[in-house]
């Protein structure tokens, strides 16, 4: 079933000061909500970004700037997918501000499996995006 969730704005990535993670702040809206909702999506550096970059994509090389751009591209892709996953899971059904943490704990195992399946599915597309946009 398609979601009626509309993304109005995205800001980030922001480095989380108390944990090894980056975050994005989404402003989202549904037709029946009077005002937009704020959603913060955290992406774990070790369990999500490095897992995708080093294990799934087996990515290496590039200058410091290219590595930075690659991380930004992958972080945003992960955050966008996590938003879709939690929306499908029903966590964004109500109108209230929400914080979605890294999918690295026991309570999020079923969500990480969905994220891992997505990573496996889009790995060739992500490699091509890195090649096209960053040049490595």
Tokens of 38: 């704020």
pTM as predicted: 0.93
CA geometry: angle at 54 spanning 10 and 115, to 5°? 50
Domain extents for the chain? Answer: 6-134
Q: List pLDDT tens digits, range 53-90.
A: 999 999 888 899 999 999 999 999 999 999 999 999 98
CA 64 to chain centre: 22
Q: List pLDDT tens digits, range 17-55.
A: 999 999 999 999 999 888 899 999 999 999 999 999 999
């Amino acid at each position: 079933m398609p979601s009626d969730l509309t993304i109005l704005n995205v800001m980030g990535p922001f480095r989380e000061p108390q944990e090894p993670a980056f975050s994005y702040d989404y402003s989202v809206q549904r037709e029946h909500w009077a005002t937009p909702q704020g959603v913060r999506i955290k992406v774990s550096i070790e369990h999500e970004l490095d897992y995708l970059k080093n294990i799934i994509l087996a990515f290496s090389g590039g200058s410091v700037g290219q590595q930075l751009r690659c991380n930004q591209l992958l972080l945003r892709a992960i955050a966008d997918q996590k938003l879709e996953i939690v929306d499908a899971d029903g966590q964004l059904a109500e109108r209230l501000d929400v914080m979605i943490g890294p999918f690295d704990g026991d309570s999020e195992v079923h969500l990480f499996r969905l994220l891992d399946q997505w990573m496996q599915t889009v790995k060739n597309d992500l490699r091509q995006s890195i090649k096209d946009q960053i040049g490595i």
